[in-house]
Amino acid sequence: MKKEYYFFFIFVIAAATLIGSTIAVISNMGNIINHHNATQTDAGVKPDKSAYHVSADEINIGKDAVAETDYELMVVSDLEQQQIDAMLKQLGKSDDQDKGQFISEFQQLNSLPPTGTLDSKTLHLIITQVTLNQASRAIGRI
């Protein structure tokens, strides 16, 4: 085998290893962050989430306060808001229906506290549901 083929073969192996490692880290990023936060908490250091983390008692939503639940406040761009609105329509929201009411009903159907506020848990569930619906349509089940 020529010397050039060996170099190409080594390059392909290195690229595959790098891509595989990157995908593994990205896929497990939530676990890595949770482990890091747990390690800091065990060491007596509290992770700083003060800029993005508020408790339900601190959120004034205009109705009864939701107890014992933490919400992560999200900042979304205009493009992300358009994508969220499109996903809500795919899940059955009509144009004349109030977004907060639809989110509250969606949360209630999926065993989340029905706050009517789009938090990170609700958004994750919406994305998952839309993805599953699209996959089902793609294989012809819906």
d(CA 141, CA 135): 9
Residues 6+ apart with CB under 8 A from 106: 91, 122, 125, 126
Residues 83 and 100 in one domain: yes
Instruction: Using DSSP, state whether 55 is helix, strand or coil.
Output: strand
Shared domain check, 99 and 121: yes
* Same-domain pairing of 15 and 28: yes
The predicted structure's pLDDT at residue 76: 78
54 and 43: one domain?
Answer: no
**Average pLDDT for 54-71:** 46
Q: Are 74 and 140 contained in the same domain?
A: yes
129, amino acid identity? Q
Beta strand extents in 84-137 (DSSP E only): none
CA atoms within 13 A on the CB side of 127: 11
Residues 133, 88 within the same domain: yes
- pTM tops 0.85: no
Burial code (b: 16+ CB inside 10 Å, e: under 16) for 84-114 equals beebbeeeebeeeeeeeebbbebbeeeebbb
pLDDT in tens, 30-61: 887 877 777 766 656 555 544 444 444 444 44
Domain extent, residue 110, equals 50-142
Q: How many domains does the chain have?
A: 2
Mean pLDDT of 98-107: 90
Instruction: Inform me whether the pLDDT recorded for 126 exceeds 60.
Output: yes
Do 61 and 1 fall into the same domain?
no
How far is 59 from 69, CA to CA, in rounded Å?
11
Same domain membership, residue 63 and residue 5: no
Q: Is a pLDDT exceeding 90 seen at residue 13?
A: yes
Which has more confidence, 38 or 25? Answer: 25
Residue holding tokens 């083929």? Answer: 5
- Pair 78, 12 in one domain: no
Check pLDDT > 70 for residue 67.
Answer: no
